[in-house]
Structure 1
């Protein structure tokens, strides 16, 4: 229930009571029949009418003050749809590979499904946003050291020591790059990130050959590459019609940990070395780190990736009724407090005259949708979506309603009996209650994989909701429309 409605209700009720007192003073005979006084009403039936009228007029006043949110939501749904959807819970997960000697590594694709431990009997479902290469190596130590090579005008060095599983030689690995995640307190990892991308003078990979001699391979500072800025590395679904820079800003302020990854490239050169099972990576810095910077083996995490609480789901079937103009989309009638609609992706129906033919309805606010339906009278109705605050007690989430309109935005009959709605959903506020740090793993994977367990490196963020007030959305639209001529 929207708390703002209470303020409108109390304001209208106060106004009606004050006007009732004025009416009682001016027309005492009529007011006497209504039992109206300056501060109270003795007739319970009249009191109920006053309260009911205050509730209705409060809703009307709030609707007027909303500045037509239907228009702003429709504009944002076309240009910047991620601004009107809930912001799902996000986290960083780490896969612990089984200690097998697989020189080619194991590959986990993006969109890998992860299932959490049940919360109140309901597991949360996350999906990874980036692929992961599982190499049979681990970080055994890391820290700040004095520079080993003074030829590059280095002030300090970061030493990362890697070791393979089961004494596998480093030269046998089929890698080209290795991805790290910077794990730790904000005041440490963001300073470390700045050092790695602005103050590296030289990189050296050091190993010991079969004769016990140390071999060194040099890498350019440019071999350290940022992660998370490419179009295929986004976490949130994003429209190609929108400026991609807005998505980077949006994801940064929602989940800055997503950008704390970096790739160390050029490791395919190690295959030409006669190396043992240990590799020492020296990263020379042009300046010294802050005195309070703490680095250890847990700072540089391998086999990690961002994950987001999004999953596809077919909502409960909707039976079309002639007496109704809108329908609530319910992803799961048994778990309404645990699943929230993120987006409506597709609405299908079976034709009454042709049971085997599926009809796909188009959204009313879309690009050139009317051209796709010319000559097809079955598709004369378009669906319109409206998101509202949940009316359930102690539920800060939202509900989604769909209605059908013609091209003039008048109510239209879809002409079918049952609607099938394909959605993308979140688990509402459940991720914030997930247990964290289970020794047996925080997530279970779907299907077989060379993974011993999956843990959460960064605790899932709470789910956030969009601002549904029209006035704020108008300001957002005007801000997003800025250009070089503004």
Structure 2
């Protein structure tokens, strides 16, 4: 036993417990011999204190391991190592003649220098970049249905959405985990119909 504190704590606990027991059951006081000097009895009490002190020391030492084991079972994602990551914003150049640019997975991205140090990241999935931007998002209701409207427009004046061969769109749902998970649940589980309404070009 490395820490004598546990032993002294157990000796003190046994003495206080004996006093409380005598006060509650005074008829049994003669059998407890409060002021006994019997060395055999003292050795038994000390041995018991050493045993219980050792158990308590082991329990206290294993609390971090026990907590980690419980978290591994209940919330395994919280104990997994998480590397540094960032959210990257890609935009097509305004004078780009391409309607889409494919950015493959594991594309290297280098950060701006911070104290002369640059960090290198890699993308984790394929991205198809279009000259599009979301300028409005609205949630409403029509009768018993809820509508989720995303207004998208092109970033280049000479293009319309019809001119772009859109294969798929990646939507970033935000960095607030509750809101992002709720939106993802709605989109994956509760969407009944998706309607595309092209906006007529405005003639000036």
Residues 179-208 of structure 1 deviation map (CA, whole Å, 9 limit, x = unaligned) = 111114222111111111111111110014
Q: Does structure 1 residue 132 correspond to structure 2 residue 114?
A: no
CA distance in 2, matches of 1:145, 1:204: 15
SS at match of 2:116: coil
Maintained 8 Å contact 2:91/2:131: no
Partner of residue 203, structure 1: 194
Larger RCO, structures 1/2 (Cα 8 Å, 6+ apart): 1
Partner of residue 104, structure 1: 99
Q: Does structure 1 residue 170 correspond to structure 2 residue 161?
A: yes
Q: Does structure 1 residue 92 correspond to structure 2 residue 87?
A: yes
SS at match of 2:187: helix
CA distance in 2, matches of 1:86, 1:162: 37
The structure with the largest helix share of the pair is 2
Q: CA RMSD in A?
A: 2.8
Partner of residue 156, structure 1: 146
CA distance in 1, matches of 2:139, 2:153: 18
SS at match of 1:157: strand
CA distance in 2, matches of 1:87, 1:158: 33
Q: Closer, same or farther in 2 for the Cα pair 1:87/1:179, shift >3 Å? A: closer
CA distance in 2, matches of 1:134, 1:109: 11
Maintained 8 Å contact 1:114/1:125: yes
SS at match of 1:146: strand
CA distance in 1, matches of 2:195, 2:149: 10
Q: Does structure 1 residue 181 correspond to structure 2 residue 193?
A: no
Provide the TM-score with structure 2 as the length reference. Answer: 0.53
Structure 1 residue 167, shift from structure 2 partner: 4.1
SS at match of 1:191: helix
Provide the TM-score with structure 1 as the length reference. Answer: 0.24
Maintained 8 Å contact 1:111/1:127: yes
Listed as ranges, the matches of 1:56-71 within 5 Å are none
Residues 199-240 of structure 1 deviation map (CA, whole Å, 9 limit, x = unaligned) = 11111100144xxxxxxxxxxxxxxxxxxxxxxxxxxxxxxx
Structure 1 residue 163, shift from structure 2 partner: 0.6
Structure 1 residue 98, shift from structure 2 partner: 1.6
Q: Does structure 1 residue 114 correspond to structure 2 residue 109?
A: yes
CA distance in 1, matches of 2:112, 2:161: 37
Q: 4+ runs of 1 displaced by more than 3 Å? A: 100-104
CA distance in 1, matches of 2:118, 2:146: 46
Listed as ranges, the matches of 1:379-418 within 5 Å are none
Structure 1 residue 120, shift from structure 2 partner: 3.5
Aligned length: 126
Structure 1 residue 86, shift from structure 2 partner: 5.7
Please list every run of 5 or more consecutive structure 2 residues that lacks an aligned counterpart in the other structure.
5-79
The structure with the largest strand share of the pair is 1
Q: Closer, same or farther in 2 for the Cα pair 1:146/1:103, shift >3 Å? A: farther
Q: Closer, same or farther in 2 for the Cα pair 1:180/1:102, shift >3 Å? A: farther
Residues 115-166 of structure 1 deviation map (CA, whole Å, 9 limit, x = unaligned) = 223334221111111122111111111121233xx6xxx5210110011121
